[in-house]
Amino acid sequence: MAVDSPLLGLFYSLFINKTEYFAMSAKRKMAHLTEETLVEYRAAFDALDYNNSGKISTLEIAPLMRKLGLMPSNLEVDELVAEVDKDKNAALEGITFEQFCIIAARKYNEIYTENDINEAFRTFDLENNGFIPASELRRALCGMGEKLNDDEMDALLETAQQDADGNVHYESFVRNMYDV
C-alpha cells in the first residue's frame, strides 16, 4: 500500500506487525514494560477487580487502556483478547493481570504521544494556523485501520473545534482523542 503522507503513514503504522508480536512469549512481551509501568497497570487493574478474583471483565479492557494512555480501537481490543484467550472463556471469566499486560504491552509499543500526532497533522496545516481541512481528517480516519463510517466521522467532527470554513483545530481534536 502506498502511503502518501506522514499522517496516513502514522495511522497505517498503528495497525501493522500484529503477527510478529503475538509470536513472542508472554514474558518477552511484558519485558517491554518498565517496572513503573507495571506498577501503574497493576494499580489500575486492581481498582477494577472488585471481587479480588484476579480477573477483570473483557468489557473493562478498552476503557482501562484508554485511561492508561493507550488508544486501542474496540476492534483491536477484541483481536488482542482473542489472542490471549487460548481457552476461549474470557468473555465469561474475564482476563488475568498477565493477560492484560500482554494486551497492553502490544499497544504500549505503538504509543504515539499527542505531540507525535500533532506533528503529523501539521503537514496538512498549510497556513500554520492550527487548523486542517476536515476533508483531510475524514480521508485519514475513514480510509485507514479500523475505518470509520460517515455517521461515525460526522459525530467525531461534531466534537471538534472548527473555524467558519469547517477546518478542524487539530490540537484540540487530538487532546479530545486522548481524553476519551
Residue 158 pLDDT greater than 60, yes or no:
yes
In whole angstroms, what is the distance from residue 57 CA to residue 125 CA?
Answer: 42
Q: Domain locations in the chain?
A: 32-108, 114-178
SS3 content of the chain, % helix, strand, coil (to 5): 60, 5, 35
Q: What is the Cα 148 distance to its own chain's centre?
A: 14
The three three-digit cell numbers of residue 117, written as one number: 500526532
DSSP assignments along 75-99, one per residue? HHHHHHHHHH-TTS-HHHH-EEHHH
Per residue in 87-139, pLDDT tens?
888 888 999 999 999 888 877 666 566 777 788 888 888 889 999 988 888 88
Q: Cα–Cα distances in Å, from 149 out to 20, 70, 146, 153?
A: 29, 23, 10, 6
d(CA 45, CA 85): 17
The better pLDDT of the pair 86, 44 is held by 44
Per residue in 54-77, pLDDT (tens digit) is 999 999 999 999 888 888 888 888
Domain range 32-108, CATH class = mainly alpha
Is 114-178 the same fold as 32-108?
yes
Among 1.10.238.10, 3.10.20.600, 3.30.450.20, 3.40.50.300, name the CATH number for the domain at 114-178.
1.10.238.10
- Report the alpha-carbon distance of residue 180 to residue 173 in Å, rounded: 11
